Structure 1
Amino acid sequence: MEESYPNIIMYAAPFLIFFAALEVFLAWYQEREYHDRKEVVTSVIVGLVNVAINLALKTLMLFPVVWVYNLVPWRMELNWWMLIPCYIIFDFASYWAHRISHGSRFWWATHVLHHSSDHYNLTVSFRLSWVQGIKLIFFLPVMLFGFHPVIFFVTNQIAVLFQFWVHTEYIKKLPKWVEYIFATPSNHRVHHGSQEQYIDKNYGATFIFWDRMLGTYEPEVEKPKYGITTPLKNKYNPIYVNFHEYIDIVDDVKKAKTFKEKLYFVFGNPTKIAKKKIPKLLRQKKRKIKSQ
Structure 2
Amino acid sequence: MTPQQFEQDLQPLLLYATPLIFICIAVEYWLVRHDPHHRYDHDDLKASVGIGLGSLLINGLFKAAIVGISLFCYEIVPWRLPNTWWSWILAYLGIDLCNYFAHFIAHKQRIWWATHVTHHSSEHFNLATSFRNSWTQHIKIIFFLPVWLSGIHPVITFTCYQIDLLYQFWIHTEVIHKLPRWFEYIFVTPSHHRVHHGKNTLYLDKNFGTTFILWDRLFGTFQEETETPVYGITKPVESQNVIYLNFHEWRDIVREVRQAKSLREAAAILFGPP
Question: Once structures 1 and 2 are overlaid, which stretch shifts more, 8-17 or 70-79?
Answer: 70-79
The structure-2 alpha-carbon separation of the partners of 1:80 and 1:41, relative to structure 1 and needing over 3 Å to count, comes to: farther
1:149 corresponds to:
154
**Out of 260, 263, 270, which is 2:264 matched to?**
260
Aligned: 1:35 with 2:5: no
Matched-pair contact (CA < 8 Å) for 1:104–1:268 = yes
Q: Measure, in 1, the Cα distance between the counterparts of 2:196 and 2:35.
A: 26
Offset at residue 206 of structure 1 (A)? 0.5
Alignment size in residue pairs: 269
242, 253, 257: which one aligns with 1:249: 253
Residue number in structure 2 paired with 1:60:
65
CA contact (8 A) 1:43 1:124 kept: yes
Structure 1, residues 201-246: CA drift from partner, whole Å, max 9, x if none? Answer: 0001100111111111110000100000001121x10111001100
5+ long unaligned stretches in structure 1 = 271-292
The answer to whether the 8 A contact 1:69-1:147 is kept is yes
Q: Is 1:3 aligned to residue 38 of structure 2?
A: no
Q: Does 1:89 align with 2:94?
A: yes
Q: Deviations over 1:138-165 (max 9, x none)?
A: 0101111111010011000000000000
The answer for unaligned runs of 5 or more in structure 2 is 1-5
How far the C-alpha of 1:76 sits from its partner, in A, is: 2.7
Q: Given residue 59 of structure 2, which amino acid in structure 1 is its aligned partner?
A: N
CA distance in 2, matches of 1:24, 1:42: 16
SS of residue paired to 2:177:
coil
Is 1:19 equivalent to 2:24 in the alignment? yes
Alpha-carbon distance between aligned partners in 2 of 1:129 and 1:80, rounded to the nearest angstrom: 33
Q: In the alignment, is residue 197 of structure 1 matched against residue 202 of structure 2?
A: yes
Structure with larger Rg: 1
- Measure, in 1, the Cα distance between the counterparts of 2:179 and 2:25: 21
Of stretches 156-165 and 32-41 in structure 1, the one that deviates more from structure 2 is 32-41
TM, length-normalised to structure 1: 0.89
Per-residue deviation, residues 27-52 of structure 1 (Å, max 9, x unmatched)? 11455533211111111111112112
The structure 1 residue matched to 2:228, chosen from 223, 230, 240, is 223
Task: Indicate which of 265, 270, 273 corresponds to 1:269.
Answer: 273
For residues 111 and 192 of structure 1, the distance between their equivalents in structure 2, rounded to whole angstroms, comes to 12
Identical positions, percent: 48
Tell me the distance in 1 between the aligned counterparts of 2:48 and 2:134: 11
Q: TM-score, normalising length from structure 2?
A: 0.94
Matched, 1:118 2:146: no
Partner Cα distance (2:35, 2:270) in 1: 44
In the alignment, is the contact (CA less than 8 A) between 2:38 and 2:174 conserved in 1?
no
